[in-house]
Each structure stands twice: as structure tokens, then as C-alpha cells.
């Protein structure tokens, strides 16, 4: 599992610049034609549904990149549970700048709040068991840092950040290796400075569970196993390795999976299939034609 993730402005800069360029904010023909001069305005970002909010630092950074004079004040903290109708943040300044950043800021905020909200549903579903909810590398390219941050804010934990962040021998690795045992031994023998790094092995059958144990795997990933088989695998492992489940995990069965005694449940849907949270930005104009 990776270290704690924070959304520092420096880590967001490149992504936000690219997102604003994609939206051609300096060539907004509608706003330019309607408002050739600055127009005082204030805006409020409102939740249209209950959600776990996430991504406020990204939204702030978007508006600051558009216009450093805009004033952005968050009314909630990332990770907070909000109700429909709650004001999430307020903005004040040139209405043209608010309009320029609106869509990009909301895209980040809606997606990340959706990830956090779905994660919280899974976390709540396994409450009282030993299982922790993990994300995966099944993220939208370029958004991994943000999505894994949102998982944290939803109460989940992070699995590998990238391919350098831990040894995980999967089925396609084994397809190229001689056998499971030799693959584990090779990974351990060539560890070098990362010798203490745990070695995780993906298995799909109880026979492979036995092989992984014999090979000395530190973590055994039970892939796409039915609950009854997961329960038997946990019994076979008997605490000799950490256990993780992945594949075929849904809200309707995650509690049953957690009840088998597994240590972790990794869920790609947290990031690749989370519905966007319903948030909107409403703008109210002040007196037009004055500098702001």
C-alpha cells in the first residue's frame, strides 16, 4: 500500500494546464461576445445529491490557474459527507473567469466525489470485519493520483501506485514463467535493495493457493473466486500469508467476501466505474462593467 496522498498545487499544475487548454478557455467566443469587460459575480457550488466530497483542492487550483484574483472558499472538507442542497464552495470575482473555469473544475470535483462516494459505500458495507477496501491501477490515464486520493477520502486504501510500487506476480507473468514456485523465487532472489518488499501472487484455484504458500508468497491474491472457495482458501492459508480478493466484487456480495476473513478486497470499479456526483455551479452577477 502506498504512502498518504496529498494534492499539492505542484502535482496538479501540469494536469490542470492541460485540462484548461483542452477546453480552450482563452477562446470562449460566447463569454467574449457577451462580456467584453470584467463583470462582478459570485458563484456557489451546490451538491444536488448526498455524497462524499473530494477534489476541492483541484477545483481551487483550476480557478486560481484561470485567474489568481478569484476568491475561492471551500465550505466543506474533502472526505466530508454532504447532503443534497449543501453549499460546497463559494467564488467571487470576475464572472468571465468563473465561467472559464466552471466546467473543468466541476469535471474534477464531480468525478472525484463520485469515486469517494462509491468507495465509502464499499467501506460501510464491510464495517466490522477485518477487510480493508483497496483500489487498483484501473484508473483513467493521467488521473491516477487524483483518483487514488479520492479513494482515500472515501475511507479506502491505496494498492500499488504504479509498477514500481510492489511485486505482484499475475497470471500473465506466470504464462511467461516456468512455474509459480520459480517465479516467486526469482522475484525474491533479484530483489536487491527492495528485499523487504512483500511478494504478492495472483491465484485462481486452491491448488495454486497451495503452490503460492509452498513458494513463500507474502500476499496471496484470490482472483475471481466464488465466496465458498475464498472461505476454503483462507482456511488453507491459515495466516501464513496475507490474503486479498479481487474480481467479481460488487456491493451485493462484498460483505459476504469480507466475512470469510480476508485481509483486503481490491476493487477496480472504485475508479473506472464510479458514477459522477451531481454538483453544479450557480452564478449570480453583480454590477456589470466594473473592474473586479
Cα distances (angstroms) measured from residue 127 to each of 120, 258, 266: 10, 9, 15
Check: CB of residue 65 under 8 Å from CB of residue 10. Answer: no
Q: Which of 138, 157, 210, 231 is the catalytic position?
A: 138
Residue 284 designated active-site: no
Out of 94, 102, 223, 244, the active site residue is: 223
Q: Which one from 78, 147, 202, 244 is the annotated catalytic residue?
A: 202
Please write down the HEC assignment for all residues of the chain: CCCCCCCCHHHHHHHHHHHHHHCCHHHCHHHHHHCCCCEEEEEEEEECCCEECCCHHHHHHHHHHHCCCCEEEECCCCCCEECCCCEEEEEEEEHHHHHHHHHHHHHHHHHHHHHHHHHHHHHHHCCCCCCEEECCCCCCCCCHHHHHHHHHHCCCECCCCCCCCCEEECHHHHHHCCCHHHHHHHHHHCCHHHCCCCEEEEECCHHHHHHHHHHCCCEEEEECCCHHHHHHHHHHHCCCCEEEEECCCCCCCHHHHHCCCCCEEECCHHHHCCCCCCEEEEEEEEEECCCC
Q: Is 263 assigned a catalytic role?
A: no
Catalytic residue among 40, 42, 103, 231: 103
Active-site residue flag, 242: no
The single residue of 73, 170, 235, 240 carrying the catalytic annotation is 170
138 is an active site residue? yes
202 catalytic per annotation: yes
97, burial (CB in 10 Å: exposed 0-12, middle 13-18, buried 19+)? buried
CA distance 96 to 286: 12
Write out the catalytic residue numbers.
103, 138, 170, 202, 223
Amino acid at each position: 500500500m502506498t504512502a498518504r496522498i496529498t494534492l499539492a498545487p505542484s502535482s496538479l499544475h501540469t494536469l490542470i494546464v492541460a485540462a484548461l487548454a483542452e477546453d480552450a478557455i482563452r477562446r470562449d467566443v460566447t463569454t467574449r461576445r457577451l462580456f467584453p469587460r470584467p463583470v462582478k459575480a459570485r458563484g456557489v457550488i451546490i451538491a444536488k445529491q448526498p455524497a462524499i466530497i473530494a477534489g476541492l483542492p483541484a477545483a481551487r487550483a483550476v480557478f486560481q490557474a484561470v485567474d489568481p484574483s478569484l476568491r475561492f472558499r471551500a465550505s466543506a472538507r474533502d472526505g466530508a459527507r454532504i447532503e443534497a442542497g449543501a453549499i460546497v464552495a463559494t467564488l467571487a470575482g470576475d464572472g468571465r473567469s468563473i465561467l472559464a473555469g466552471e466546467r473543468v473544475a466541476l469535471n474534477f470535483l464531480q468525478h472525484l466525489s463520485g469515486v469517494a462516494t462509491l468507495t465509502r459505500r464499499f467501506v460501510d458495507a464491510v464495517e466490522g470485519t477485518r477487510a480493508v477496501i483497496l483500489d487498483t491501477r484501473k484508473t483513467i490515464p493521467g488521473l491516477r493520483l487524483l483518483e487514488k486520493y479520492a479513494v482515500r477520502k472515501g475511507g479506502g486504501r491505496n494498492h500499488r501506485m504504479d509498477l514500481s510500487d510492489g511485486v505482484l506476480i499475475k497470471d500473465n507473468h506466470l504464462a511467461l514463467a516456468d512455474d509459480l514456485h520459480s517465479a516467486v523465487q526469482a522475484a525474491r532472489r533479484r530483489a536487491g535493495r527492495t528485499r523487504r518488499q512483500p511478494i504478492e501472487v495472483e491465484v485462481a484455484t486452491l491448488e495454486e493457493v497451495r503452490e503460492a504458500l509452498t513458494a513463500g508468497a507474502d500476499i496471496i491474491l484470490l482472483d475471481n473466486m466464488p465466496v465458498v472457495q475464498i472461505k476454503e482458501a483462507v482456511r488453507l492459508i491459515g495466516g501464513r500469508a496475507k490474503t486479498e480478493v479481487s474480481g467479481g466484487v460488487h456491493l451485493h456480495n462484498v460483505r459476504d467476501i469480507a466475512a470469510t476473513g480476508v485481509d483486503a478486497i481490491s476493487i477496480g470499479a472504485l475508479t473506472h466505474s464510479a458514477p459522477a456526483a451531481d454538483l453544479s455551479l450557480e452564478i449570480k452577477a453583480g454590477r456589470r462593467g466594473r473592474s473586479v
